[in-house]
Structure 1
Amino acid sequence: MLGVRLLVLSVVCVVLMVVDARFDTLKPVRSQLGLVLTPFYWLADLPVRTWQRATEQLSSSTSLAAENEKLKAEALLMQRRLQKLAMLTEQNVRLRELLNSAALVDDKVIVGELIGLDPNPFTHRILIDKGERDGVFVGQPVLDASGLMGQVVEVMPYASRVLLLTDVTHSIPVQVNRNGLRAIAVGTGSPDYLELRHVAETADIKEGDLLVSSGLGQRFPSGYPVAQVTEVVRGSGQPFSIVRATPTAMLNRSRYLLLVFSDSRTPEQRATDAAEAQVTADREAAEVQPAPAEPAAEPQAPAAEPESTEQQP
């Protein structure tokens, strides 16, 4: 009897997995289950937080003072870099104004925290503590302090799943920061590197080049670090060069993440949309204004009937 129950439960599990993989029927159920399981993720993470707080409280005053001095020095260095970045940002704004194009100076972000990992070894996904109630949406870019990490692929009320750049199903348009060369970086299933597809053997790319998001595809904002080229193999018998790059984001170590809210349109698209909106507004304003009244026409006398020219026989 116990074996029959096990067989029935196994068949039910297989059917549910097939339905979940092929259809969207169980998506609302999975969303509600995510809402129910979110407190369990918090409870599972509670011992780690408790241990970290206890370790911080037991730290000696000498180590804390040394760390404080070190952080002060790093803060001064970061303030100096921020001053340079502020100056460069202002110069960029002035140049864009000269070019008559709108500039998105800063992106709105919210801070999220890692609360879980996907147990499937063949996918690279993580769970964060921000969901639909926080304005998170599917396709939203996610990054850490070092670069882009991936994008949101599933949103629940209080949590979301993020697909990392290194997943085999993920790809992102990038460009070489040194010369603007465009390419597509795809995940390899390994957390250590990405691969660039369809790079010609004569392309100007070399080890050490920084790859940044190009903004093509209107999914990721442009200019964020993605990876650094670590290997370029030419003349390997393949039609294209083999290019591998290491992600700049700390995919296996970052705990606090940033979710980016930005306008992914290019300056040209924003200018075009603004022009179309202005034309529409002008047209609506013209329809609202009454047309000028035309002067009344003077009454005309009726035309005289022509005399009959028939002759009597």
Structure 2
Amino acid sequence: MKPIFGRGPSLQLRLFFAIIVSASLMLADSRLDAFSQVRFLLNSMVAPIQYAADLPRSMFDGFYERFSSRQQLMDSNRSLKREVLALKSDLILLDQYREENQRLRKLLGSSFVRDEKKVVAEVMGVDTSPYRHQVVIDKGRLDGVYEGQPVINEKGIVGQVTFVAAHNSRVLLLVDPNSAIPVQNIRNDIRVVASGNGQTDEIQLEHIATSTDMEVGDMLVTSGLGGVYPEGYPVAYLSHVDKDTRREFASIKASPVVDFNRLRYLLLIWPNEDRQQKVLQANPEQMTKESDNGAQ
């Protein structure tokens, strides 16, 4: 019985035939360029399909590239902001250090600072109220500080040490109500006692007869009486003089040369040994009596 469908060429024969045809076409195309137009037509037909197929990938690549660039810019911007902030903080510190150096130069180079031993101290704490004006400094007994030691800055008299610990000390300011300092008027050498009244920008002269020669603008300096403060250090300028003849004493006020609201660095001074012994043995009543005698 014969099969319904006749057998065709074998698989090997068909493969051989396909190889021969393919080789012939490739040879003809390479030598004669016979299929260039067909190839161009096929490319033209396929190009839109390729573009459509490639469009999602192209869009994703473009979006990813833009997102990456934006992210890089944002990261770079944040990094630059941090650098700018760090640089600004460095500049602030640099300005602060420059100011501190200028203050120290003024403090050590002040024209009235003499050859006496001196040490720079920094204010660690402030204790101020209407009835109390004191500061704590970072120098103490181990630095040679002693009670009654005079304290100045680049402008003039600040006050004196009233308490000494191992590593710090307490300074009674000139404007404290418990402070009194023997001074003299540069213009006429009249000696009086100036005392604090609790105001940071004012001290007063008490028990001065109305006939005493005192004028607004006169400069007061330390008189050296009592041995606490060396002679000649600036203290204040007379700012108010009221000589009411109906009263026994004149009302006299003075503006300190030191700005007590801006104390940062102070200068501890060591007078000569004789003066230091006077400080340690000084009697406040005796100091006041000597100054009052000078004002009469």
Instruction: Give the structure-1-normalised TM-score.
Output: 0.53
Q: Deviations over 1:35-94 (max 9, x none)?
A: xxxxxxxxxxxxxxxxxx986623599x99xx99xx8xxx9xx9xx98xx7xxx9xxxxx
Letter in 1 for 2:90: Q
Deviations 1:232-281 (A, max 9, x none): 00116321111100111121102000001012757xx9xxxxxxxxxxxx
Please state if 1:118 is matched with 2:127. yes
Deviation sequence 1:163-193 (CA, Å, 0-9, x none): 0011111100000111111110011111111
Structure whose alpha-carbon radius of gyration is higher: 2
Question: How much has 1:145 moved relative to structure 2?
Answer: 0.9
| Cα distance in 2 between the residues matched to 1:55 and 1:115 | 27
Q: SS of the residue aligned with 2:158?
A: strand
Match of 1:273 in 2: none
Structure 2 distance, partners of 1:263, 1:128, is 22
Matched residue pairs, number?
184
Measured after TM superposition, the shift of residue 119 of structure 1 is: 5.8
Alignment match of 2:210 (pick from 201, 207, 222): 201
**Whole-Å separation in 2 of the counterparts to 1:250 and 1:55:** 30
Q: Work out the CA distance in 1 between the residues paired with 2:93 and 2:171.
A: 38
Is the alpha carbon distance of 1:212 and 1:170 closer, same or farther for their aligned partners in structure 2, counting shifts above 3 Å?
same
| SS of structure 2 residue aligned to 1:118 | strand
| Partner-residue secondary structure (3-state), 1:57 | helix
Match of 1:93 in 2: none
Match of 1:154 in 2: 163
Closer, same or farther: CA 151–57 of 1 in aligned 2, 3 Å: same
Matches within 5 A, 1:124-203: 124-203=133-212
Counterpart Cα distance in 2 of 1:119 and 1:172: 19
Tell me how large the CA RMSD over aligned residues is: 3.3
Which AA in structure 2 matches 1:239?
E
Alpha carbons 2:201, 2:259 under 8 Å: kept: no
Match of 2:82 in 1: none
Q: Could you list the runs of 5+ residues in structure 1 that have no partner in the other structure?
A: 1-52, 90-103, 270-313
CA distance in 2 between counterparts of 1:60 and 1:255 reads 16
CA contact (8 A) 1:219 1:264 kept: no
Identity value in percent: 39
Q: CA deviation at 1:197?
A: 1.5
Change over 3 Å in CA distance of 1:54–1:229 after alignment to 2:
farther
Per the alignment, residue 242 of structure 1 pairs with: 251
Q: Runs of 5+ in structure 2 lacking a partner?
A: 1-85, 279-296
